[in-house]
Amino acid sequence: MENHYDVIILGAGAAGLTAGIYTSRAKLKTLILNEGTVGGQMVLTHEIANYPGVENISGYALARIMKKQAQDFGCQIKSNLRISALHLDGVVKRVEVNESTVYTSAIVIIATGGKSRTLGVAGEEKYKGNGISYCATCDGDFFSGREIIVVGGGNSALEEAVSLTKYASKVTIVHQFDHFQAYPIAVEEARNNPKIDFIMESTIDEFIGEESLRRVKIRHIPSATVHEKPIDGVFIFIGYVPNTESLAGIIELNRWKEIIVDESRSTNLPGVFAAGDSIAKKYRQVTTAVADGTIAALSAVSYIHDAAKTRAA
Amino acid sequence: MLHTNLTHVLSADDHQKLLGENENVMICCGRMGPMCIPVYEVMEELENEYKHVKFADMEFDHPDARLIRSLPQTAGFMGLPFTVYYKNGQPVKATSSIQRMDQITAILDEQFGR
Is the pLDDT at A45 greater than 80, yes or no? no
Half-sphere exposure of A92 (CA within 13 A, CB side): 8
B63 close contact with A: CB closer than 8 A? no
Predicted pLDDT of residue A297: 98
- Interface TM-score (ipTM) > 0.90: no
In chain B, domain spans: 7-112
Q: Which residue of A has its CA nearest to B36?
A: A138
The answer to whether the predicted template modeling score (pTM) of the entire model surpasses 0.90 is: no
pLDDT in tens, B30-47: 998 888 999 999 999 899
pLDDT in tens, A261-277: 999 999 999 999 999 99
Written out in words, the top-level CATH class of the domain with range B7-112 is alpha beta
Determine whether the interchain pair A138/B34 forms a contact, defined as Cβ–Cβ distance below 8 Å. yes
pLDDT in tens, B45-100: 899 999 999 999 999 999 999 999 999 999 989 999 999 999 999 999 999 999 98
Q: Which residue of A has its CA nearest to B42?
A: A80
Residues of chain B contacting A134 with CB distance shorter than 8 Å: 35
What is the C-alpha separation between A82 and A33, in angstroms, rounded? 9
For residue A60, give the nearest of B35, B37, B79 by CB distance: B37
Kindly list the distances between the CA atom of residue B67 and the CA atoms of B4, B55, B97, in Å, as whole numbers in the listed order.
21, 17, 18
Work out the pLDDT band at A1, boundaries 50, 70, 90.
low
Helix then strand count (H, E) for chain B reads 4, 5
Amino acid, res. A254: N
Predicted pLDDT of residue A48: 85
Determine whether the interchain pair B77/A139 forms a contact, defined as Cβ–Cβ distance below 8 Å. no
Residues of chain A contacting B96 with CB distance shorter than 8 Å: 128-130
Most A CBs within 10 A among B2, B69, B97, hence the mutation to make, goes to B97
What is the C-alpha separation between A209 and A214, in angstroms, rounded? 4
H/E stretch holding B35 reads none
Is the pLDDT at B14 greater than 70, yes or no? yes
Rounded CA Rg of chain B: 12
What is the C-alpha separation between A219 and A224, in angstroms, rounded? 6
pLDDT in tens, A215-243: 999 999 999 999 999 999 999 999 889 99
Kindly list the distances between the CA atom of residue A139 and the CA atoms of A148, A193, A229, B23, B71, in Å, as whole numbers in the listed order.
12, 21, 21, 31, 18
Average pLDDT over residues A301-313: 88
H/E stretch holding A185 reads helix A184-191
Q: Pairing between strand A240-242 and A114-116?
A: antiparallel
Is the backbone of residue A54 left (phi > 0), alpha (psi -120 to 50) or beta?
beta
Average pLDDT over residues A147-156: 95
Amino acid, res. A148: I
CA of B84 vs chain A CAs: smallest distance (Å): 14
